[in-house]
Structure formats: structure tokens, C-alpha cells
A and B are shown apart, each in its own frame.
Chain A
Amino acid sequence: MTEAGNSSPLVKLEAVNKHFGALHVLKDIDLSVARGEVVVVIGPSGGGKSTLCRVINRLETIDSGDITFDGQTLPAEGKALAKLRSEVGMVFQSFNLFSHKTILENVTLGPIKVRGIARQQAEQRGLELLERVGIASQAAKYPAQLSGGQQQRVAIARALAMDPKMILFDEPTSALDPEMVQEVLDVMVGLASDGMTMLVVTHEMGFARRAAHRVVFMADGQIVEESAPEEFFTQPKSDRARDFLSKILTH
């Protein structure tokens, strides 16, 4: 199921390079994500997966190459960059909910302050989104009072509140206790089937199999292999991917 999307890609990376000091973390990356497509990025630690995710909303700058979002080159700074970010949701490994704000405030802050939506309207929408991720009863609590799985679902609701054109997930389940992984993945599978464009850095193969249109395997800063999920997990083309899969599958 590699179809999804019709016209131009929503995100397009061309010959993107990025260094952290002497470390070459992204090497000539070419990647495009179509509208409505769910792309899973998988690969060994330190391979550049998170950086790939973070350059798309410019939380990391790039050294060379081109990134376009919705047909436009990423703005470098200022209001234009803030506007771009408001259209690209991001879900972090460590949730990063605003610690001093309630759950509902976390979800309504962006709509009120960035979009200028009236508080009452934003709260109504916020509660609907919290309902959708199953946290509405906790709306008045603070992030530290919630479990990791609940916090991550709030973080997804916070991203959805901006009506993003795409959501980036940077290892959304890696910091969770095992019993909480599923509740977060269920929400993500729901989003995928609703047609949200998603780029997901994860090691959850169950999710990749259920929801992804495409798996991108990254190692040492390069995209080594791209294929449909089933094909990737059963018949990886590269030795690097075979080696990686043998390590994570035996446990």
C-alpha cells in the first residue's frame, strides 16, 4: 500500500547534509512524503533518524540541500518559520508537555496564542481532542500527575489542536513503560487511518506493519533502504538492514 496522496509531495528533502561537529549525521538525504502517507523511519541509534525528523520543522538547521514543505522552501527564521512550525505537529520522545500548565491549557495554548482562536472555542475543541485520545477526565490536572502514556497522548492532542498538515513523531514510545506503549500506538494507528500525514521514528514493528505505507531504513546518516513494511521485515534488501533486524527480532 504505497499509494496515498495524489499531487506534489507534502515534504521533499533533496541532498540534505547535516554535521554535528565532525560527525556527519545526515548524508545526502533524499526523501519525500506524500500527503496522507505514513512513513516509518527505523534504524540503529545514532543513525540520524531523530535529526531527520527534526530538520523538517527546523528544530535543527541543515548545512546544505533543500527542504520544501507544501511546495515552499523552509523559512530560515522569524514569523514565517513560526507559521511553518504551527502547520507541522511534533511529538517528542520525552513528551515535553508544558509543566506549569494544565492538560487543557497545554492543548489550547497554541490555538489561542498562535491562531488567535477565542478561549471558549479553543477549550471546547481541546476537550474534544482530549476525549479522542481518552484523557478528557484529566483536563484540569498537571502533566506530572499523569502517567507517561497519558502524557504522550496529551502531546498528540496538543499537536492535533493546531490542525497540522503533518505530524512528526520522534520515538514517541521509547520513553514509555512497556504496558503504556500500546495505548499511544492505538491513537497513532487511529490518526493514520484518518489520513494524517505522518513521519514516525520508531522501533515498533507492529505499528509499522499495521499503519505504515513505507519503511525507511537509516544507518550512519544515510537512507539505506526504502520499502513496503511487509517486504522490509521479511525480505530486507541490504545486509545492514538484515543485520539490524536480526538483532531486534531475536529479543
Chain B
Amino acid sequence: MDDLIKYAPDLAAGFLVNVELSLVSAVLSLILGTILVSMRVSPTPVLRAAGTTYVNVVRNTPLTLVLAFSALGLSDTLGLTFSDEPSTNGFWLVVLGLSAYTATFVGEALRAGINTVPLGQAEAARAIGLTFLQSLRLIILPQAFRAVIRPLGSVMIAMIKNTTVAVAAGYLAESAFIMKDTFDDTGVSIPIFIGLALAFMAVTLPIGFLTGWLARRLAVAR
């Protein structure tokens, strides 16, 4: 218990980084996932193929490899840099890898949601003269999102926990790495384990409740 109290400020600072990574990646992965699913249902074969390939490649690659590629491949080898400040650069490389990875799951959840929208909705949208993008944006996606709020919540919970493998991109500021680093000094501390697990649950449990509540509230009556 003394260890937990002693190292709490370091762990808390690290946990704040997990929260920051989560917030930014949530926004980016939702946007990118929506773009991916739009590509996969588009009338253009090239876009469909590109979307499908991307999802199949990235979704089936371990996140640690995606993050390592983001840091070692894109950044070190190909020269992609977000900032001259190494810790800021590392943060954004993790966000990039994590968002690119999570977006595939967002896209697949949304695709399941699109399948719950009756074909007649799209036909009616086309029949009043909406273009493909208009029907997607105004009619199909709003109903698809509402149908998959719960699974999207699960994707977000998984993504938040996935911020703890940021070390795979050489980024050392988040709490799980700090915990292991601390154990090198103190030996394994059960209270620190439990304390950090509770901190994650304090963030992820409400997401489960919130998305359940939203799913009931926003359900589309047919």
C-alpha cells in the first residue's frame, strides 16, 4: 500500500496519458472507421476493394506490430514526424497506429449496423433524388450508428485498454509501462496492480453503462 501511495503521482501522470491517447484515438478512429465503411458500401469497385483490403490487413495484424510499424517504419525509416519534441512525436505515432487499428473495428461494427437498415430506406432516399453520399450521411449512417452503439462502446473500451501497449511504439509515458518500471525498483506490488486496474475500470465501466443507456434511448422504432 505504501508503494501505491509513494508512486501514485507518477502513475496518475501516466494514466492521464492513457486518457489523452484514448480521447484523441476515439475521435480519429470513429472518423476513419466511418470513412472505411463508406468506402466498403460505395458503388465504386476501386473504393470497395481498397476499404476491404485495408480492413483485412490492419484488423488481422497484432496491434503491437501496427504500433512498431508506426514508429519504426513510418517514422524512423520513412521519416514521418509530427513534432521535434520526441515525447510529442511518440504520442502522435501511438495515436496514428491505434486509430488506424481501431478504425477497422469501428468500420466493421458500422457495417453490421448498415445491414440492420432495411433496403427500402436507401431506395426511398434515392427515389427523392438524394445522391449516394447524401443518402449515406442523412439516412443510412444515422440509423446504422444507432443500431451499433453498444458494440461501438465495446470497441472503445478495447481501444482504451490497448493504450497500455504504447511501449510497442517506443512510447514510455503511459501508466502500464510506468508500473512495470516501478516494479523494477520496488518489486511487484499487488496494490499498484489493483490501483491501476481500478483506474481503468473507472473510465471503461461508465462507457458500458452510457452506451447501453444511449442504445435504448436512441433506438430507431420500425
* Interface of A toward B, CB cutoff 8 Å: 57, 59, 77-79, 82-90, 92, 94-100, 109-110, 113-114, 142-145, 155, 158-159, 162
Contacts and interface: CB of A to CB of B under 8 A. Distances in A.
A85 B128 contact: yes
B130 A96 contact: no
Nearest to A97: B124
A100 B220 contact: yes
Interface string B132-152: 001000110011001000000
Interface size class of B (residues with CB under 8 A): 20 to 34
B126 A85 contact: yes
Given A96-B120, A100-B143, A144 B221 contact: yes
Contact of B128 (A79, A95, A142, A162): A162
Contacts, number: 75
Contact of B121 (A77, A85, A98): A98
A96 B135 CA distance: 13
Contact of B127 (A57, A113, A143): A57
A110 B129 contact: yes
Contacts of A92: 120, 123-124, 127
A82 B126 CA distance: 7
A39 to B, nearest CB: 19
A115 to B, nearest CB: 8
A83 B129 contact: yes
Contact of B130 (A97, A110, A158): A110
Contacts of B217: none
List 7 tightest A-B contacts by C-beta distance, closest first.
Answer: A86-B129, A144-B221, A96-B120, A96-B124, A110-B128, A90-B127, A114-B129
A155 B115 CA distance: 23
B177 to A, nearest CB: 44
Given A96-B118, A110-B128, 14 more contacts: A59-B126, A77-B43, A84-B129, A85-B129, A86-B128, A86-B129, A94-B120, A96-B124, A97-B124, A98-B139, A99-B121, A143-B221, A144-B222, A158-B124
24 contacts: A57-B127, A59-B126, A79-B131, A84-B129, A85-B126, A85-B128, A85-B129, A86-B129, A89-B127, A90-B127, A96-B121, A96-B124, A98-B125, A110-B130, A113-B130, A114-B129, A114-B130, A114-B134, A143-B221, A144-B221, A144-B222, A145-B221, A158-B124, A162-B128
B221 A114 contact: no
Nearest to B123: A59
SS class, residues of chain B in contact with chain A: helix
A186 to B, nearest CB: 23
A113 B120 contact: no
A158 B121 CA distance: 13
Interface centre among B124, B130, B134 (most CB of A within 10 A): B124
Nearest to A85: B129
Contact of A113 (B43, B138, B222): B138
A35 B134 CA distance: 30
A96 B128 contact: no
Nearest to A91: B127
Contact of B142 (A83, A95, A100, A143): A100
A83 B131 CA distance: 9
Contacts of B222: 99, 144
B143 A99 contact: yes
B130 A99 contact: no
A97 to B, nearest CB: 7
A146 B99 CA distance: 42
B121 A113 contact: no
Nearest to B43: A77
Contacts of B220: 99-100
A82 B132 CA distance: 9
A5 to B, nearest CB: 23
Contacts of A145: 221
Given A92-B120, A100-B143, A59 B221 contact: no
